[in-house]
């Protein structure tokens, strides 16, 4: 369950106009982000878009070319300031967990915790994560899920203000991934740490994040809540990231565009003679065919949660792909009609 984040307070982490070039390639370009106490921000994007590089800059493993990084409004990195990684109140969980192979589970967790508070802190974390029976084991003796718990315990033991997680669940099978992810995020939400979770999975970002920062080619394409990503996308890249889409190029006439499914009003900021119309595959509902609203079922793929249906129009040359919940009752070669939920129609 997501918690209510206080966005009126001072940000825990503030990044301003961060830029970084590596080996002559611009990896991070003009990124500005604020992260608040107790917030989970999912950094979403394709491989190579700069997600991990951004984390490495925040925690100090790499040095930005220009820009500033603040924690609790105190500058920790700029062209003139560079607080060392070990001095930053930040913990990071890597994709491969990066546990020390020569240390036991207990030694891994205790690493980096001050001796005065070590025993009480570690005992509580061990109990919360249910790893009491593994303390004398070494990382190679643990399963993937157990290693993930140990990595999490080591990351939160120093009570960091900020926790960075680089695709920590990607190496687990699906059923274990969902269980561990829910367990982990639930535990973290009880603290006031601010969390950045890197993922390439839009569904995971939707399930976990209070907000999502969608990256593309080293830049933030859009940042916002689930609703903002779904109903207020800034461009076609955001739309296609979170849905399969049907795309049409349409001529603008009288501030409207014509599609096979009717006329739609264009947004006020669009000028020119043409517009790109994107209709999410979940926008469609199946109705009785009538007149020009007639489609033949060409293919059905049942995924367990939903049915993906490919349709061919009977009166003109057009293909439509739709997704409906559960197992559909329509059959191959059935003739159906379609209605469209305009909330899922986006025009650019």
pLDDT at 148: 84
Shared domain check, 325 and 248? yes
SS3 156: helix
CATH number at residue 271: 2.40.50.140
Residue where one domain finishes, among candidates 237, 269, 303: 237
pTM recorded for the entire structure: 0.90
Shared domain check, 181 and 46? yes
Token pair, residue 76, equals 């920790």
Whether residue 285 is contained in a domain is answered as yes
Shared domain check, 290 and 184? no
**192-217: burial string, b at 16+ Cβ within 10 Å, e else:** ebbbbbbbeebebbbbbbbbbbbbbe
How many Å separate Cα 322 from the centre of its chain?
24
Shared domain check, 311 and 190? no
Are 197 and 40 in contact by the 8 Å Cβ rule? The answer is: yes
Whether residue 78 is contained in a domain is answered as yes
Shared domain check, 257 and 287? yes
Shared domain check, 226 and 167? yes
Shared domain check, 253 and 233? no
Shared domain check, 224 and 284? no
**Look-up: residue for tokens 């307070």?**
9
Rounded CA-CA distance 146/169 in Å is 12
Domain that holds residue 228: 13-89+160-237
pLDDT at 118: 63
Whether residue 113 is contained in a domain is answered as no
pLDDT at 122: 82
Number of domains in the chain: 2
pLDDT at 1: 60
Ranges of residues in the chain whose predicted pLDDT is under 50 = none
Residue where one domain finishes, among candidates 175, 208, 237: 237
Residue 162 bridge partners (DSSP): 90, 194
Shared domain check, 195 and 326? no
Closest CA to 12 of 90, 81, 84, 65: 90
């Amino acid at each position: 369950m997501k918690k209510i984040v206080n966005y009126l307070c001072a940000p825990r982490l503030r990044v301003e106009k961060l830029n970084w070039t590596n080996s002559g390639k611009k990896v991070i370009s003009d990124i500005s982000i604020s992260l608040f106490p107790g917030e989970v921000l999912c950094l979403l994007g394709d491989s190579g878009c700069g997600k991990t590089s951004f984390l490495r800059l925040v925690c100090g493993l790499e040095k930005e070319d220009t820009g500033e990084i603040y924690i609790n409004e105190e500058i920790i990195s700029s062209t003139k300031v560079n607080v060392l990684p070990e001095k930053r109140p930040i913990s990071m969980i890597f994709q491969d967990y990066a546990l020390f192979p020569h240390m036991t589970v207990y030694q891994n967790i205790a690493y980096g915790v001050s001796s005065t508070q070590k025993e009480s802190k570690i005992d509580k974390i061990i109990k919360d994560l249910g790893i009491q029976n593994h303390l004398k084991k070494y990382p190679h003796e643990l399963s993937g899920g157990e290693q993930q718990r140990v990595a999490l315990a080591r990351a939160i033991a120093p009570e960091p203000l900020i926790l960075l997680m680089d695709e920590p669940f990607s190496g687990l099978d699906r059923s274990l991934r969902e269980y561990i992810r829910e367990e982990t995020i639930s535990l973290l939400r009880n603290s006031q740490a601010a969390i950045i979770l890197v993922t390439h999975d839009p569904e995971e970002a939707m399930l976990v994040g209070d907000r999502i920062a969608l990256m593309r080619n080293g830049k933030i394409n859009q940042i916002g809540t689930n609703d903002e990503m779904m109903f207020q996308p800034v461009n076609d890249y955001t739309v296609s990231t979170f849905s399969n889409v049907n795309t049409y190029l349409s001529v603008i006439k009288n501030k409207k565009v014509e599609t096979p499914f009717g006329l739609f009003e264009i947004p006020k900021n669009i000028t020119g003679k043409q517009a790109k119309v994107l209709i999410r595959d979940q926008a469609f509902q199946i109705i009785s065919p009538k007149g020009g609203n007639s489609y033949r079922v060409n293919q059905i793929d049942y995924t367990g949660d939903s049915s993906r249906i490919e349709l061919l129009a009977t009166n003109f040359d057009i293909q439509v792909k739709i997704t409906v919940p559960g197992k559909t009752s329509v059959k191959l070669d059935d003739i159906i009609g379609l209605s469209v939920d305009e909330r899922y129609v986006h025009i650019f």
